[in-house]
Amino acid sequence: MGMTFDPISQLDRFAASVLDSARTPRFMPVDLFRDGDRYVLHADLPGVDPGSIDIDVDGSQLSIRAQRTPDSGEGMRWISRERSGGSFLRQFTLGDGVDVDGISASYESGVLSVIIPVSERAKPRKIAVEQAERRQEIAA
């Protein structure tokens, strides 16, 4: 396999590895959209151990944490190492219109899916309009 040497990108990677510590959580890209009566959040977490994923709700804050353990083998000689290990963290503020007790999550093929249902009181509803009867009094 042929690889080219790019001193700028090598310097950039070196600086990132020196300045980046294992204590600093990494960014996890997400897609968030509303689908009918629920919000759907998809978070990219490739290579993460599903047992390390922690999702919790504290008041109006939804937090997602995960851990990826870097590959480390005896006698390995790295040619390129761009997939670093470490912790991931994303936090979201939930509005009053969600059903916090109904939140569910699943992890498949490196993607975490979190389903956040809309609460009953926040769902759109029709208000019936009653027609008042006209009462006419007939004078005798």
List, for residues 41-65, the tens digit of each pLDDT value: 999 999 899 999 999 999 889 999 9
Nearest 5 degrees, angle CA 88-CA 18-CA 47? 30
Distances (CA, A) of 36 to 8, 39, 68, 96, 115: 47, 8, 33, 17, 12
22-26, 60-64, 67-71: range with lowest mean pLDDT: 22-26
The token pair at 115 is 């389903």
The backbone region for 79, taken as left when phi is positive above 0, alpha when psi lies in -120 to 50, beta otherwise, is: alpha
Tell me the pLDDT of the chain averaged across its residues: 81
Show the domains of the chain with their CATH numbers.
Answer: 22-71+84-121 (2.60.40.790)
112-133 per-position pLDDT tens digit: 999 999 987 766 778 888 887 7
2-20 per-position pLDDT tens digit: 555 566 655 655 665 555 5
Q: Are 97 and 76 in contact (CB under 8 A)?
A: no
Answer yes or no: is pLDDT of 111 > 60: yes
